[in-house]
Amino acid sequence: MQQKASGGNPSPSARPAAGERTGRRESIYPHRSVRALPMSSVRLTAGVGLALLITVWSVWNAVPIMETHSQVAAAIAGWAGLPINGWTPIGIFPGLEPASGPQLAIPSFQEVSEGARLALVFSIIALLLLAQRFSLFRNVANFLIVILIASAVANAVFDNFRLQSTAFGQIWLRQEMLVWLILPWVLILLFVIPQPSVWRGLGWVVFLQAYGFFFSALRMVFVLGVLHYTGLLFMPPLWFLLGTLSDLLFILFFYSLAIHRSSGDLWGVRETWQSHF
């Protein structure tokens, strides 16, 4: 008969006073049903403080941040071989100095090549196949197919369904700027307050804020490139996949890493799990 320590009863873990004699083990590792990670005011204060700092700094430096974003995007566009004709000032938010928007030709539906239209058809077929093969992906695939078809119809029917690259840059920057303002608060809720290490948590927040900035520039250039070569046909699904969904994706990716790391750390640290008496 196999027996285990009574999981519901974490043994005491009182820390000895300085100079007091100690035994080799202070406690039994508690069963998972009774584990806990007590909230710490240090983590809460540090997290809120950092989020506030980043938000205030971002609001204060909104224009330079957006300018830098445009410069980074310009550099990436250069490496990607996109024929950007220059950057023109665009108003992002009322009351703020304008930032720069890219000037890149986006063809209308009538101007796009046959290749782009074929790509649309192939994309739909590919999505159908994916939906058949991976049932878990079916809903996303179906949704993408619907908006691809809707996009094709809107492009074909409405002549005024046009978008300049500067206007696209404007929408993108407005959205991402809002994301960067919300991001630190979401990050402290996931990476600082509920994690055992406050310093690592703060490190994650700073790193992910920067990562979000560069990832946004990269995505924007990719979407601009696709728009340049295929018009607005793919814009709705790209907006869906590479807009805020991608912001969520990178947060989830790094959150899973943080959880993985914390789980490993906590496994060996009995004291962290337990309250003292």
Which of positions 4-33 make contact with other proteins (CB under 8 A)?
A: 4-9, 11-12, 14, 21-26, 28, 31-33
Number of residues that bind other proteins (CB under 8 A): 94
Which of positions 121-150 make contact with other proteins (CB under 8 A)?
A: 135-140, 142-143, 147, 150
Cα–Cα nearest to 73, from 102, 107, 97 = 102
Nearer to other proteins, 124 or 130 (CB): 130
Task: Name the phi and psi angles at 99, rounded to 5.
Answer: -105, -175
Residue 216, CA distances (Å) to 174, 223, 249 in order:
12, 11, 12
Nearer to other proteins, 71 or 132 (CB): 132
Nearer to other proteins, 94 or 114 (CB): 94
Q: Is 247 in the site for other proteins (CB under 8 A)?
A: yes
Task: Name the phi and psi angles at 103, rounded to 5.
Answer: -110, 110
Cα–Cα nearest to 90, from 74, 76, 102 = 102
Structure tokens at 271: 């004291």
Which of positions 209-228 make contact with other proteins (CB under 8 A)?
A: 218, 221-222, 225-226
Q: Is 95 in the site for other proteins (CB under 8 A)?
A: no
Which of positions 150-189 make contact with other proteins (CB under 8 A)?
A: 150, 154, 160-163, 167, 171, 174-175, 178-179, 182, 186, 189
**Sole binder of other proteins in the list 18, 38, 41, 199 (CB under 8 A):** 38
Return d(Cα 56, Cα 45) in angstroms, integer: 16
CA geometry: angle 14, 20, 26, nearest 5 deg? 35
Q: Is 200 in the site for other proteins (CB under 8 A)?
A: no
Return d(Cα 241, Cα 144) in angstroms, integer: 9
Q: Which stretch binds other proteins (CB under 8 A): 49-57, 102-110, 116-124, 256-264?
A: 256-264
Query: Cβ 219 to other proteins, closest distance in Å?
Result: 8
Which of positions 45-64 make contact with other proteins (CB under 8 A)?
A: none
Chain position carrying tokens 């999981």: 7
**Sole binder of other proteins in the list 89, 245, 269, 271 (CB under 8 A):** 245
Q: Is 112 in the site for other proteins (CB under 8 A)?
A: no
**Sole binder of other proteins in the list 15, 39, 75, 97 (CB under 8 A):** 39
**Residue 272 CA to its chain's centroid (Å):** 30
Q: Is 248 in the site for other proteins (CB under 8 A)?
A: yes
Q: Residue 28 in contact with residue 13, Cβ under 8 Å?
A: no
Nearer to other proteins, 63 or 163 (CB): 163
Using only C-alpha atoms, the chain has a radius of gyration, in whole angstroms, of 26
Return d(Cα 142, Cα 162) in angstroms, integer: 25
Return d(Cα 36, Cα 130) in angstroms, integer: 42
Query: Cβ 29 to other proteins, closest distance in Å?
Result: 10
